[in-house]
Chains A and B, each alone.
Chain A
């Protein structure tokens, strides 16, 4: 295995307690331990994180942008899922 074959890892960083992990970027590393160390050096040099996840990019299943319309269509015609859909008389409070 040369460095060219090192798997790609996606890096997720929790910036502080109370927040979820957010995608920060990606990097190559031979194994998970090295991926974590490299991620720390690359993405948290200024205390940007309190926790890091690394996930092999190959393990991520993604929706394809080509399928965008049909895939996300079920949500498009359901405006009644949003609170702004409903007419409430003026003056009614706490609603």
Chain B
């Protein structure tokens, strides 16, 4: 537990040495209060993003163009629910339960990724989300597999394994549209035009404005800066877009021989902050849908509890 015991200094030295040696911190280890708080904040925001992220895609399940696409999309959305649960479990090892976190999400006291406040207007958006949004998430998440906090790192390993199908199915979907009729190609291009810039914003504000970055890097929660990961993502996407036969909507995008990276245009950070402040196209809708789903699921939770009571109860109760 985190207490200011008389030998807190020794504990802190052990913690520092563990992080420095690239070993993992585990739930029952002593850790600085700020490390715990920072992890809870990040893991909660991450978990919320997974379950809110189910909404824009679930929007298309009933209208998927084939049984194959429908089965794939259902599997993907179900995976995202699973990702949320892995992460809520990781947060719980830090002493913060899922109910408390859901409360904070529902009351707007905790955030989720601003990308999910954009609408899915056409079927091609399902492809653009898989390719770009899951792609950006993977770029962010792969380094988190080596995060200093054991349970978070282990959740990320599991999540990253599952994410690669998400990205590939999106890419395949877009490729099919891009090679389809003129109207289908135009629909795919329109989706990429709308999702490209918000995807770049997923890496967070530029390094010189990022509030939590430096400390998170020191604690080895984060391994790379926002701008570094964003650049990596752009470099990965450019040739992929070429193979798709689709353009990325940035006239400033070009290879910079000297840097060995692609230069790209300025991101509209005003838009990012507006969406973060709650003024995106779908902020209101996402949270009210989340609350509604939670309330409408109450009878399932009650029924499960009643069944457990009737048939021997929980092990804890049986012993009591």
Residues of A within 8 A of B (CB): 1-4, 6-8, 25-34, 41-42, 45-46, 56, 58-59, 62, 64-66
Contacts and interface: CB of A to CB of B under 8 A. Distances in A.
Q: In this complex, which of A1, A41, A56 has the most chain B Cβ atoms within 10 angstroms of its Cβ?
A: A1
Contacts of A66: 30
Q: In this complex, which of A4, A8, A30, A62 has the most chain B Cβ atoms within 10 angstroms of its Cβ?
A: A30
Nearest to B97: A4
A32 B307 CA distance: 11
Given A32-B315, A56-B315, A27 B99 contact: no
Contacts of A56: 314-316
Interface string B59-90: 00000000000000001001100100110010
Q: Which of under 10, 10 to 19, 20 to 34, or 35 or more describes the interface residues of B?
A: 20 to 34
B109 interface: no
B277 to A, nearest CB: 31
A31 B314 contact: yes
B21 to A, nearest CB: 15
Contacts of B267: none
Given A27-B85, A30-B304, A45 B315 contact: no
Given A45-B79, A45-B82, A7 B97 contact: no
A36 B89 CA distance: 16
25 contacts: A2-B305, A3-B99, A3-B301, A7-B315, A8-B92, A25-B89, A25-B154, A25-B158, A26-B89, A27-B89, A30-B304, A30-B307, A31-B304, A31-B308, A31-B312, A31-B313, A34-B304, A41-B82, A45-B78, A45-B82, A46-B162, A56-B315, A59-B315, A65-B26, A66-B30
B29 A30 contact: no
B28 A42 contact: no
Contacts of B259: none
Q: In this complex, which of A8, A28, A31, A58 has the most chain B Cβ atoms within 10 angstroms of its Cβ?
A: A31
B311 interface: yes
Contacts of B315: 7, 32, 56, 58-59
Interface of B: 26, 28-30, 75, 78-79, 82, 85-86, 89, 92, 97-99, 154-155, 158, 162, 301, 304-305, 307-309, 311-316
Contacts, number: 66
Contacts of A4: 97, 99
Contacts of B301: 2-3
Contacts of A31: 304, 307-308, 311-314
Q: In this complex, which of A3, A27, A46 has the most chain B Cβ atoms within 10 angstroms of its Cβ?
A: A3
Nearest to B28: A65
Given A28-B98, A30-B307, A45-B78, A7 B26 contact: no
A66 B8 CA distance: 12
A30 to B, nearest CB: 4
A2 B305 CA distance: 7
A34 B301 CA distance: 11
Contacts of B92: 8, 26
A3 B98 CA distance: 10
Given A2-B301, A2-B305, 11 more contacts: A1-B308, A1-B309, A3-B305, A30-B308, A30-B314, A31-B314, A34-B308, A41-B82, A45-B82, A62-B28, A66-B30
Given A31-B313, A59-B315, A64-B28, A1 B305 contact: yes
